[in-house]
Structure 1
Amino acid sequence: MTVLDRFSTMYADICQITLDDLADIYASNVAFVDPITTHHGLNSVQKYFANLLGQAERCQFDISMIAPVNSNSITHIVNWTMNLKLKQSDKLIVVDGNTQLTVKDDKIVYHKDYYDLGEMVYEHIPLLGFFVKKIKKRLAK
């Protein structure tokens, strides 16, 4: 099983993994970047996932495509839809995004997520969400 196969299996249902499972796909010196924060090293990524796993009741990624890239640094692009339900909310959050990966020696050394942070976070905060949706609607005209 390749690292991309292991990545797809793991992300299909993040809530079913253990923190030790992350070492099966990420290198010890991985750089993990998302719109909220950046983590350097496997230990930092494991702490990030510990926090996520503590808050999430459900976190599943439907990976629609993994494509190789001919680039000096990025080796693959992953398109996905995330379904996230937090323990303290009844609302299911659905967000489309993509990830840039760099794979070296069958481990991921670089992982960068791209998604709409407003769609994932801001739109679900009661008063702020109203204004974010209103602004997006106005910009779409």
Structure 2
Amino acid sequence: MSSFLQPFAERFATLDATSLHRLDELYSQDVCFQDPLHQAEGLAELRRYFESIYANVRELRYDFHEFDEVAQGRGYLRWTLHFRHARLAGGGLISLDGCSFLRWSERVDYHRDYFDAGALLYEHLPVLGGVIGWLKRRLA
């Protein structure tokens, strides 16, 4: 198990809308963050992105399943995100599996999340979700 990844994940999982000032304990000032929906360059932009995410969720929790340091200062986290959003899935709990690649020295300077954006967002929108569900059933 990585001596960096698990403590990082544990600290990351405690973040919420009131504690985003602690991002500088985890990320470098020039961090590059990317997920399927957004890209942020620098800590200030990352903080704004996380503020917009946390402002719209009623509950958010991560379960981390695997910590894999593949080289010095590089590794992967496998996780499940659980969240509630008033405008998605009728406010019900949504769970999403994903993986993060991190690069770090003292703090993370590169963070890329991999997940199914449809499973996160589009499948839970009132009209579009029905269409995507229908398409998935037809293609299965």
Correspondence 1:137 to 2:137: yes
Deviation at 1:137, TM superposition (A): 1.8
Contact kept, 8 Å, 1:14 with 1:59, in 2: the verdict is: no
Q: TM-score, normalised to structure 1's length?
A: 0.87
Contact 1:11–1:60 under 8 Å retained in 2: no
In the TM superposition, residue 126 of structure 1 has moved relative to its aligned partner by 1.1
In the alignment, the residues of structure 2 paired with residue 47 and residue 40 of structure 1 have an alpha-carbon distance, to the nearest angstrom, of 11
Q: Which moved more, 1:87-96 or 1:12-21?
A: 12-21
* Secondary structure in 2 matching 1:22: helix
Q: How much has 1:29 moved relative to structure 2?
A: 0.4
| CA deviations over 1:11-40 (Å, ceiling 9, x no partner) | 334326512110011000000000001000
Q: Which runs of 5+ in 1 are unaligned?
A: none
Which of structure 1's runs of 4+ aligned residues deviate more than 6 A? Answer: none
Deviates more, 1:82-91 or 1:39-48: 82-91
Specify the alignment match of 1:11 in structure 2.
12
Corresponding position of 2:32: 31
Partner of 1:116: 116
- Unaligned residue ranges in structure 2 (runs of 5+): none
Identity of aligned residues (%): 29
Matches within 5 A, 1:34-45: 34-45=35-46
Please tell me the residue identity of whatever aligns with 2:30: N
Shift of 1:87: 4.5
Q: In the alignment, is the contact (CA less than 8 A) between 1:67 and 1:76 conserved in 2? A: yes
Give the paired residue count.
136
Task: Report the Cα offset of residue 68 of structure 1.
Answer: 0.8
Q: CA RMSD in A?
A: 1.9
TM-score after normalising by structure 2:
0.87
